[in-house]
Amino acid sequence: MTDAVVAEAVQKRYGAARVLAGASLSLRRGETLAVLGRNGAGKTTLVKILAAALAKDAGQVTVLGRDLDREPAAVAHLCGYVGQDSERSAFPRLTVRENLRYFGVLRGLRPGELDARIALLAEALGFGARLDVLFGTLSGGQKQAAIIARALLHDPPVVFLDEPTKGLDPLAAARLRAFLRGRVRAGLALLLTSHVTTDVEALADRVAVVHQGRVPVSGAPGALLAALGGAEVVEVEAAGLTAAARGRLAGLGAVSRVLTGDPTYLGCVVREPLAGVEAVVAALRAEGIAARFRQRALTLEDAVLHHLGAAGAREAA
C-alpha cells in the first residue's frame, strides 16, 4: 500500500497549553486508521491540522505526496473533512439538496455529476427522502448524515472524519460504515476518530492511540489485542481489592495482564479461559476476598485502555 497521509512530529500549542507534542502517524491508501485517545488528548486538533482547518506550529504533513504547507490548494482538492460538532455547519434555510449543490459548486463539480453524487450519497446514507426539506428542520442525526455527504460529495481519495457516527441512529451508522468500507476497498484512505468501539472494530485496519499530544501506540487492532497475551478477561468485583491482592493476581502464571480499575473492580486478562478463571478465584479466596466474577472476551477498548495506561506510566517515568 502507498502512504496517502504522512504526519511527522506535528506540534501545536493553544497559548500556554501544548496540545500536540510531536505527533506522527501514517495512513495508507485503501486503509482505515482509527485515532483513539482520551478526551483532550489532541485527536481533534490533529485531525483539523491534517484537514488544513488548523495551522500547525511545527512538523510536516503530506497528502498523496503533496506538502500541506507548500501546496495547500492541491491538498484541499484531495481531502474530505467532517469536523467534530459540525452538524450545524450548513445553511439552515436552504434545503439539503440546495446545500449540497452549493458546496458541490464550490468544489467544481459539474451539474450532472453533482446531482448524481447527491442522489448516490443520499441513498447510501439514508436521507434520500429528506433531500428537499430545509436543513434546519432535520434531526441531529440527519444533519450529521448530510454533513458527511458534503465531505464525500467530490469523492475524495482521502477523508478525515472526526466522530462521524455521533448522533446517528444505529441503522444510519451501519449504513455509513458499509458505504465507507466499500470506498476503502476501492482505495480510499480513511482516518477517523471515534469513541464508539463498534465503529473502530468494524472499520479500522489500524489504530493510533493519541496520548498527551503524541502517538505512542499504533498498530492493527489484532496486534494491540495480542500484546495483552490472552483473549478472555475475568472481571472481578469486590469490596477492598487491596494492592496485595492485585499484586498476587498479577503474579499468577495464568494471568497475562491485570487491567487497572477502581478499588472495587479489576479485569484479569487470562491466557487460558478455564484455567485462568480457576486461578483467579483461588487466588482471591486465598486472600480471603469474597468477589463476583464475570468472564468475557477481550475487547479493543481493553487494549486501548491498557496501552494508554502503559503510555501514561512511561510518560511519568
Partner 1 sequence: MIAPLTEQADQAGAPFAAPWPLLSRPVPAWRVLTATAAKNLRVARRYLPNLLGRYAQLGLRVAFFLLMATVVTVRPGAAAPLAGRELFAFFLAGMLLVVFIRPSLYAPLEMASADLQSGTLEYLFATPGSRYGYLAGAVLSELALGLVGFLPLFGVLLWTARPTALAAALMLAACALMLVALTALGVLMALLAILWRQVGSIAEVLGVVFEMLAGAYLPVSAFPAAVRGLACALPYTWGYDLVRHYALGERWATLLPPWQEWAMIAAHAVLYTALSLHLLRRAERRAKQTGLHVL
CA distance 2 to 205: 15
Choose one: 103-111, 201-209, 263-271, 276-284; the region binding partner 1 (CB under 8 A).
Answer: 103-111
Q: Which stretch binds partner 1 (CB under 8 A): 147-155, 199-207, 259-267, 309-317?
A: 147-155
CA distances from 138 to 95, 98, 172 (A): 10, 14, 14
Residue 181 in contact with partner 1, rule: CB under 8 A = no
Is the Cβ–Cβ distance between 233 and 268 less than 8 Å?
Answer: yes
Instruction: Name residue 81's amino acid.
Output: Y
Q: Does 133 bind partner 1 (CB under 8 A)?
A: no
Nearer to partner 1, 55 or 297 (CB): 55
Min CB(7)–partner 1 separation in Å: 16
Structure letter (DSSP) for residue 219? E
Say whether residue 244 binds partner 1 (CB under 8 A).
no
Cell of 13: 500549542
Residue 215 interacting with partner 1 (CB under 8 A): no
Q: Stretches 163-171, 180-188, 206-214, 286-294: which one binds partner 1 (CB under 8 A)?
A: 180-188
Interface with partner 1: number of residues (CB under 8 A): 50
Angle between helices 140-152 and 96-106 (to 10 degrees): 30
Single out the residue of 254, 262, 242, 263 nearest to residue 295, CA to CA: 254
Give φ, ψ of 15 to 5 degrees: 65, -125
| 32, 86, 142, 212: which one binds partner 1 (CB under 8 A) | 86
Task: Report the 10 Å Cβ neighbour count for 74.
Answer: 14
- How many whole angstroms separate alpha carbon 138 and alpha carbon 141? 8
DSSP bridge partners of 192: 34, 161
Q: Strand 17-28 relative to strand 214-219: parallel, antiparallel, unpaired?
A: unpaired
Which residues inside 55-84 make contact with partner 1, applying CB under 8 A?
55, 64-66, 73-74, 76-79, 81, 83
Least separation in angstroms between residue 79's CB and partner 1 is 7
144 φ/ψ angles, rounded to the nearest 5 degrees: -60, -40
Between 187 and 273, CB nearer to partner 1: 187
Window 25-54: contact mask with partner 1 (x via CB under 8 A): ----xx-----------------x--xxxx
Q: Which is nearer to partner 1, 74 or 289 (CB)?
A: 74
Q: Name the residues that contact partner 1, by CB under 8 A.
A: 1-2, 14, 29-30, 48, 51-55, 64-66, 73-74, 76-79, 81, 83, 85-86, 88-91, 93-94, 98, 102-103, 105-109, 113, 117, 150, 153-157, 185-188
